[in-house]
Amino acid sequence: MRWLAPAKVNLSLRVLGRRADGFHDLRSLMVPVSVFDELVFTHKEDGELEFFCDVPDVPADESNLVVRAVRLFCGAVGILPQLSVSLQKAIPHGAGLGGGSSDAATTLLALDALYQTGLSRDVLADLAAELGSDVPFFVYQSAAWIGGRGERVEPVTVLPTLPLLLLKPSFGVPTPWAFQHWKDAVEIPGISYEAQAHEGLVFVNDLERPVFQKYLFLADLKRWLLGRPEVSAALMSGSGSTVFAVLRDKEAGFRLGEEAVKEFGESLWLYVCETIS
């Protein structure tokens, strides 16, 4: 059984405050995009769970979110995890694109289909919340407004399809660090943090302040994108390190990507895609 796990971007991300449990309350509009990891699930007649990944630095032990999702699901429904799971990565790690969370949620959806357990999306989302803050979003396979620490998901059925250029440097940004430094961060002069409007949507990210303070490369990347005529809006996704450009025309994204590599270096990962409604 083959399943595709999409990446996501945050079209908006507001941090409302720190909670008593150490997490932060959020209000975010998240949307899947057409960049996919691929998961293949094969039932085994006997033996223990096997997990393989084509990226060597992705852990294959019990700390992996896919492995944890298999254990959690099988424990919840009372079956043995007699499975072989293969993961092929296309979504980069530490990118603010939710690759690991999507892999985990897709695993829950796939196992529900494989074992025909018929669990509702809400039940699967409750399981997903035990794995991570972004995981419940991917269970609903839809754009959604996210609340709480990520466990409250309000699917959105109608959004415009947006062509995007994703750009990620060779480094990642630790999500806990970004939230820890959110409250005391200040804006860098000359960098726009203001909300941007396009197609009836508002693009803004409160985590740009702390992340740009430490990672000036990302601030420069956003400023460069906003100066390009092909770009309608530009924003960091999640806690970074991906910055995305909303394109006026999808085909222009390939040329823009080439120019970005010339400007910022060949280590820049880029991908032309679009939002999935």
What residues act catalytically?
A: 8, 134
Distance from C-alpha of 35 to C-alpha of 20, rounded to nearest angstrom: 35
Nearest Cα residue to 107 out of 9, 61, 35, 41? 41
Distance from C-alpha of 206 to C-alpha of 226, rounded to nearest angstrom: 18
Report H helices in the chain.
65-77, 99-114, 121-129, 135-139, 175-180, 208-214, 216-226, 252-264
Burial class (CB within 10 angstroms; exposed 0-12, middle 13-18, buried 19+) of 264: middle
Pairing of strands 152-156, 143-148: antiparallel
Radius of gyration of the chain (CA): 19
- Matching residue, tokens 């092909």: 230
Are 28 and 153 spatial neighbours (Cβ–Cβ below 8 Å)? no
Q: What phi and psi, each to the nearest 5 degrees, are found at residue 76? A: -70, -35
Nearest Cα residue to 265 out of 224, 237, 214, 207? 224
- Matching residue, tokens 């990620």: 168
Distance from C-alpha of 233 to C-alpha of 170, rounded to nearest angstrom: 23
Structure tokens at 190: 């000359």
